[in-house]
Amino acid sequence: MERGNLSMSRGILAVVGLGLVGFASSLGQHKPADTESALKPQIDRAVARAVQFLRHAQAPNGSWDQMPGGQGQSGHTVGCTALAALALMEAGVPVRDPAVERAIQFLRQAVQDGSQQGRTYDISATIWALNRYGDPDDQDLIRLLTCRLVKAQQSNGLWSYECPSVSPQEVPQLIEELRRLRSAGQMYNGAANTANYGQGDLSNTQFAILALWIGRRYGVPTDPVLWKTAEVLRRSQNQDGGWAYMLGQNVSSTYSMTAAGLMGISTGYGALRETLLSTTGKGGDASAKTPPPPDPTKDPVIVRGNLYLATVLRTPLEALGQQGFGSIPYTLWAIERVAMVYDWKTLGGLDWHAWGALYFFRTQLANGAWDDNNRCGLVPCTAFGILFLKRSNLATDLTAHFRGEAVLRTGDDKPLAKPDKSAALPANPESEGAAPSRRPTTVAEWTERLITGSEAEKRAALDEVTRTSGGIYTLALAEAIPRTIQPSEQTEFRRALVRRMTRLSVESLRSYLQHANPELRRAAAWAIALRDEQSLGPDLVPLLDDKDGDVAATAYLALKALTGKDFGRSSTAWKKYFTQFSAP
């Protein structure tokens, strides 16, 4: 079986195109005009109208189809439902809202049977929605769906429409194979699973790779899969800097597929950077010197892709439909997603968000929807419009890498302490002469050590994840809490997590209040109260409506502790209080 090697990726990522260095150094440094505050009222109105359309278009069973009233006819009802539910949540609709809860329940039932083939679009979008919903009970399902996407990767590194089945018993076996490949710096090769699925395309691929990036948060080490896609995309970039729908010679670039190509490069880059930050060398050799993570602003593939994408902003809005765009809402959403991941405020010196927002303002229908002459359909286009206008970013942990932050997955503001692999955690003292345990290096391994190690190992692990800086330890604690069956351990883990939170910056605490994991939201709320962080009082108010009862109760207690007031559990009353309190 032929596999690529991580060292190849390192070498390619280190290349710098000499003619592009000047431009590369300025990537991401231009700041757009202050248009966001001016556009906000229009954005809010447009999003509110779009939300109302989605509410009215939802079927009684919680689903949406591409065209309202056509439930089940498009073949992508699951994907449409996931997109619509995600858009509602990104628009600020609470996760406890009946429309969101009905949609999530429909998705769970629709994708539970892993023995049936599924569609890449549907499975990917379902992972996005379930991750955003944030119910711990969905973790096993997300892992299963992620493994289906892993097995669906084509020999050329792309995805087609179909995904093979995966049984729950296969999930740990596939995770172990991926872990082994990652440790060896090798790429995944699952060609035997997809022999009859065609050669794949970048549209399906961009859905899959974002879902695979999210799947890493749930213990599926998809790095070898993402490396392979990134490697293929590097070799297939067109001369003009763009990418086409399908790989091959003399196929014209499009803006949406160029965004997809850049997305594939970004996830491969992020996975590589995390590997370099969290290891000291291949196979854990502490004596091996690890090269520094590559600089994406000097990567010629990214620079050329950025230059190609920037040309779209020179196109008059009224001419977009004449430029071979395909679905304009889909294209604009693809651009938004990749610009948010790379943290690009502008493209070619122009504010991409203000430019695209004008298109959505001008084209919104009377019923609040957006359309594209039935290429994608009313429901997907409306979801794309909301996601664009709200500047949705499902991979903020990936964006952190493009800002140069040495964090792993969780957004923890403290730099990741590079593990000292020469120091192993204590072995069980009752096993005299036993070899010391290998030190964990990933979220999944730290979580397992906390809940399944010997008593000495668990105690040492808890001490380290409590005191050591780095997001990997924060997430490990949060993942361990619902998995331990010992109430005393659960209490200890929660206390340790709150202690970690009290050391974080205001911005990090604010970010954790919105995290998908309820344990992180809960701990952040407690930490705010313990620190008497008055500035974050208004940020606690939305948690009163949190789907998780413990989070809502903690937010209520934290608000009382911060203010000395008691307005009950009504978020409306607390909002009114903070509005009056902050008024000049």
> What is the DSSP pairing of strand 118-119 with strand 162-163?
antiparallel
Q: For position 419, what pLDDT does the model report?
A: 33
pLDDT at 447: 83
Reported as a single tens digit per residue, the pLDDT across 85-105 is 999 999 988 888 999 999 999
Is 114 within 8 Å of 71 (Cβ atoms)?
no
Residue 584 lies in a domain: no
Angle between the N-to-C axes of helices 139-151 and 98-111, in degrees from 0 to 180, rounded to the nearest 10: 50
Q: Which two tokens stand for residue 43?
A: 């954005």
Report the percent of the chain where pLDDT is more than 90. 36
Q: Please state, in angstroms and rounded to a whole number, the distance separating the CA atoms of residues 214 and 124.
A: 10
Q: What's this model's pTM, rounded to 2 decimal places?
A: 0.67
User: Does 75 fall in a domain?
Assistant: yes
Q: Distance between CA atoms of 50 and 382, rounded to whole angstroms?
A: 6
Whether the CA torsion 16, 22, 23, 26 is positive or negative: it is positive
Distance from chain centroid for Cα 58 = 25
The two structure tokens encoding residue 194: 């997809």
Neighbours of 19 (CB within 10 A): 9
For position 185, what pLDDT does the model report? 83
pLDDT at 408: 38
The segments of the chain whose pLDDT lies below 70 read 1-35, 67-75, 113-117, 191-198, 249-250, 274-294, 321-325, 403-438, 581-584
- Could you tell me the two tokens for 210? 């974002």
The answer to whether residues 62 and 102 touch, using CB atoms and an 8 Å cutoff, is yes
Q: How many domains does the chain have?
A: 1
Q: Identify the bridge partners of residue 350 per DSSP, sorted by sequence position.
A: 347
The answer to the question of residue 515 being in a domain is no
Is residue 299 a contact partner of residue 13, using CB atoms and an 8 Å limit?
yes
Nearest 5°: CA angle at 394, between 393 and 399?
65
Give the structural domain span for 143: 6-17+35-402
**Angle subtended at Cα 393 by Cα 387 and Cα 399, rounded to the nearest 5 degrees:** 155
Decide if 421 is inside a domain: no
CA 200, 205, 208, 212 torsion-angle sign: positive
Residue 511 lies in a domain: no
The CATH number covering residue 307 comes to 1.50.10.20
Q: With respect to residue 451, please indicate whether it lies within any of the assigned structural domains.
A: no
pLDDT at 114: 56
Residue 395 tokens, joined: 């991979």
Partner residues linked to 243 by β-bridges? 254
Domain-located, residue 157: yes
Residue 524 is assigned to a structural domain of this protein: no
